[in-house]
Structure 1
Amino acid sequence: MDLMLMSWCCFRLPTAVVYGSLSLFISILHNVFLLYYVDTFVSVYKIDKVSFWIGETVFLIWNSLNDPLFGWLSDRSFLSAQQSDEQISSPDVVLKRLKALSRSGPLFAASFLVFWVPWAPAGLQFLICLCLYDSFLTVVDLNHNALLADLAVSAQERTKLNFYCSLFSALGSLSVFSSYAVWNKENFFSFRIFCVTLTIFSGTGFSVSSWLLQRQFQNEAKVKCDEASVLKKLRIGEAPLAQDSRLTLAEYLNQLSRHRNFLWFVSMNLIQVFHCHFNSNFFPLFLEHLLSDRISLSTGSFLLGIAYIAPHLNNLYFLSLCNRFGVYKVVRGLFLLKLVLSTVMLIAGPDHVYLLCFFIASNRVFTEGTCKLLNLVITDLVDEDFVLNHRKQAASALLFGMVALVTKPGQTFAPLVGTWLLSFYTGYDVFQHDPVLNAVTTQPVAKSSEAWINTVRQGCFYLLVFIPFICALLQLLTWSRFTLRGKRLQAIKSRRQSVSPGGLEDIKTI
């Protein structure tokens, strides 16, 4: 009966829905990870500062290198010039990515679980858990994002795929709300049970969704194989095609270094990744020092929850704008909006509570919303890379990996730069605090006075306002040099579709 039910579902669910559901199983774990992993190791496992920064430094190196490494391992076979008859978005390519997801998805869920039970010295566990978790997350993200470029070529179809990703990501963000009911630093048992439940749900979801997608594309791969066999028989007696050598990584990097739009994009995206993680890392700090004595605890929790869910819901509207005006104009508009809001907040000052609440929340909402749209830009870069270098197969996962290689350092620079600036201008060190009073213990008593509190508050306010202001200016400058838009983008997409008439023009229904 279960097999019959799954078979019935297999022929009912649209591919876009099943593809988007994978975002649910990623976000339901990753949002909880981002929110609690630092607090768990600092407040619960009592990791020391040196071990924490050693772990973050090693994580920075591995986090940057594993994306291009896994991308190259995934796509190196597609870069061979020998496969001259292979279609760009062929079922074989999609099937390979789905098999990788079916293996790495449950392992990603399992790696999430090892954070919440102490099984080694805090410093060693922190290092191993971060690298293990990020490895499986990278494999899942690379293959999931690469499918966005492989399942469809047209901007409308890719926008549809991204729409369902945003919808399911918003649902996955509800785990942040649920986590507040069980989060307790003194009694960790309930939170561990909660994490086990999330792990089981996510691992099962990965298995079912990838199975549904694999079933569809296995059938297509079989048909394609039969057609290729017939074509091979018809070509008997023809002169064999010239066989070129397989593209090496050095040659690929040389090609990428001449890809000007790629270089301008990663320059802009590095700033974007920095700003996104800066908002995530310092959101609780801003609430504590700018609003804690002005709003209720429930209001602060509501702001935090909205800041995680609203970017995905808001992205649904942004995607509709992308269909009308193009991704380039929407992203440029979001940069301008970030610049305007920062200027208004700077002029208004830190004493307007409601405006401050709106700015703190909207700053994260619009910044995260921009990050979600940039995957569409990377898929356009995949198309341009394919056309410019006359590839036989689009190296989707590898290009996503190369983008991550350049931009992932922003993920580590965000807490480093933020804590350094805060300490430099105010003397506040987030690692030196009393666990009960949450006050800096290394400071003289005078510095716990109202004057010192106001100094910390003023430092947090300037950090809150000037970071997005500077980021917006730099991003507008770099984004203006990006030329993959308008008629050029249409020409690139037309060229890719004409070269691969067998590619997936429309999203199929399972």
Structure 2
Amino acid sequence: MGLDRAQAWLLGLPVAVVYGSQALFTSILHNVFLLYYVDTFVSVYKINKTAFWVGETVFLLWNSLNDPLFGWLSDRQFLSSQPRSGTGLSSRAVVLARVRALGWHGPLLALSFLAFWVPWAPAGLQFLLCLCLYDGFLTLVDLHHHALLADLALSSHDRTHLNFHCSLFSAAGSLSVFASYAFWNKEDFSSFRAFCVALAAGSGLGFLGATQLLRRQVEAARGEPGCSALAVDGGLCGEELLVGSEEAGSITLGQYLQQLARHRNFLWFVGMDLVQRWGVYTVVQGLFLLKLGLSLLMLLAGPEHPGLLCLFIASNRVFTEGTCKLLTLVITDLVDEDLVLNHRKQAASALLFGMVALVTKPGQTFAPLLGTWLLCFYTGHDLFQQPPMIPVGSARPWPEPPAPAPAQAPALRQGCFYLLVLVPITCALLQLFTWSQFTLHGRRLNMVKAQRQNLSQAQSLDIKMV
């Protein structure tokens, strides 16, 4: 009796809560991964420098290419060159396919996370394989989860509601980092390893439970007049025929890229995102202006105010994270525009998220490299250059080198300060320019939403007539 009551309570949870909880199961793993994987291989497994940089180089290529690759493999069945003909999948079937994929890839992500914390191969080989394996499953989970944001709901209100719950659960998932400090010990790694096993078990079981629950909720919405899954915006209502049969010619990847190259708002969006209602457009524009204003004020204040500098660094990080969360909603609008512009039967949600990542992820990887080069160029200080080590008590074959001039330390500090302030100023100016060219907001966005809504309703009426 108690089990039935608990099952009924779970089935009564809002879809937004079940959908958002999957962000928690990803976040509790990924935050720990980002904080500890380098330190583990450098300090615990003693990886050498060459193997480390080879692994990072291969990871850079894999991390950039796997998003569009997996997106294409996921969505190619939804793309055809004859968008109005044939019979095939409904929007409900598309959602269920993505939920089933999350049910597989989520637990596999948890298993790949475990592979970091147990030495099972030479350090260099394990580093390379673990990075590629983990990032592959993380990409699959992220693509399907983000694609569900575009497929579960059509209206901006419902998508914002879903994204809000994702943000809440992601914030809760960051608590795993604070808990990890109690277990991290380079000398005795067993306790931290047990902690990671517990995280992986919780994440894997959470993905299994959440996807099963979401699948049952989507299936239970079949035929209900109010479409209780989310809202009455047409996202899951009815059995809309959206994907053509094999008789319709399949679009090739080259044709899709040509279509994307003509998608003006997509090009301006990835250009803005690379250097990183009211509506999302206005809020994002306001965040860019605020970041620019704070950077200019910090530049005028100078480096002699450490408290103000710490506040500037923290606020810049908060604004950047907030912008990234909002830009997920913008990509879902691009999914709608891509569907309307190219008259597709079904939105290529995962593929479009993958194409955005193809352009933006290299920027995230090259940012520290560019910062290191700029610091060396401006101050002449090389972070990787170490003084030669001389054993204690050994005779010195050359005289003691002169002490560095006292002015070098202030010059280095000033160089770091200008780098810290001028980079956000440059990025904010570039983002404001590219964002001003983005037109998918206001009247145009309302038009795109209306056309997708009308397309969904028209296809649903065709099925009912048949």
TM-score (normalised: structure 1): 0.79
Aligned to 2:9: 9
Q: For residues 221 and 286 of structure 2, what CA distance do their matches in structure 1 show?
A: 41
Query: Out of 268, 291, 294, which is 1:338 matched to?
Result: 291
CA contact (8 A) 1:24 1:171 kept: yes
Aligned to 1:207: 208
Q: For residues 242 and 59 of structure 1, what CA distance do their matches in structure 2 show?
A: 36
Which structure features the higher share of helix residues?
A: 1
2:150 is the counterpart of 1:149: yes
In our comparison, the structure showing a higher alpha carbon Rg is 2
CA contact (8 A) 1:332 1:476 kept: yes
Q: Which moved more, 1:401-410 or 1:163-172?
A: 401-410
2:244 is the counterpart of 1:247: no
**TM-aligned CA deviation for residue 331 of structure 1:** 0.6
Aligned to 2:455: 499
Q: For residues 473 and 402 of structure 1, what CA distance do their matches in structure 2 show?
A: 24
2:427 is the counterpart of 1:427: no
Distance 1:494 1:209, change over 3 A: same
Aligned to 2:103: 102
After superposition, residues 73-112 of structure 1 pair within 5 angstroms as 73-80=73-80, 81=82, 84=85, 90-112=91-113
After superposition, residues 169-318 of structure 1 pair within 5 angstroms as 169-220=170-221, 243-272=247-276
After superposition, residues 325-364 of structure 1 pair within 5 angstroms as 325-364=278-317
Q: Secondary structure at the match of 2:77?
A: coil
**TM-aligned CA deviation for residue 117 of structure 1:** 2.2
AA paired with 2:414? Q
Distance 1:36 1:48, change over 3 A: same
Q: Which moved more, 1:6-15 or 1:127-136?
A: 6-15
Q: What is the RMSD computed on CA atoms of the aligned residues?
A: 3.0
Distance 1:241 1:103, change over 3 A: closer
CA contact (8 A) 1:92 1:221 kept: no
Distance 1:498 1:32, change over 3 A: same
Q: For residues 351 and 213 of structure 1, what CA distance do their matches in structure 2 show?
A: 54
AA paired with 1:418? G
AA paired with 2:425? F
Q: For residues 431 and 42 of structure 1, what CA distance do their matches in structure 2 show?
A: 18
Distance 1:35 1:422, change over 3 A: farther
Distance 1:228 1:113, change over 3 A: closer
**TM-aligned CA deviation for residue 407 of structure 1:** 1.2
Q: Secondary structure at the match of 2:457?
A: coil
CA contact (8 A) 1:28 1:174 kept: yes
Aligned to 1:311: none
- CA-to-aligned-CA distance 1:137-168 (integer Å, 9 cap, x gap): 00000000000000101000000000000010
2:349 is the counterpart of 1:396: yes
AA paired with 1:257? A
Q: For residues 131 and 492 of structure 1, what CA distance do their matches in structure 2 show?
A: 38
Distance 1:489 1:92, change over 3 A: same
Aligned to 1:365: 318
- CA-to-aligned-CA distance 1:345-386 (integer Å, 9 cap, x gap): 111122212211111111111111111111100000000000
CA contact (8 A) 1:446 1:452 kept: no
**TM-aligned CA deviation for residue 244 of structure 1:** 3.0
AA paired with 1:404? A
Distance 1:449 1:28, change over 3 A: farther
Q: For residues 458 and 71 of structure 2, what CA distance do their matches in structure 1 show?
A: 24
Distance 1:241 1:330, change over 3 A: closer
Q: Secondary structure at the match of 2:439?
A: coil
TM-score (normalised: structure 2): 0.86
AA paired with 2:349? S
Aligned to 1:23: 23
Distance 1:434 1:241, change over 3 A: closer
**TM-aligned CA deviation for residue 70 of structure 1:** 0.7
CA contact (8 A) 1:88 1:393 kept: no
AA paired with 1:377? V
**TM-aligned CA deviation for residue 123 of structure 1:** 1.9
Aligned to 1:386: 339
The aligned length equals: 435
Distance 1:433 1:126, change over 3 A: farther
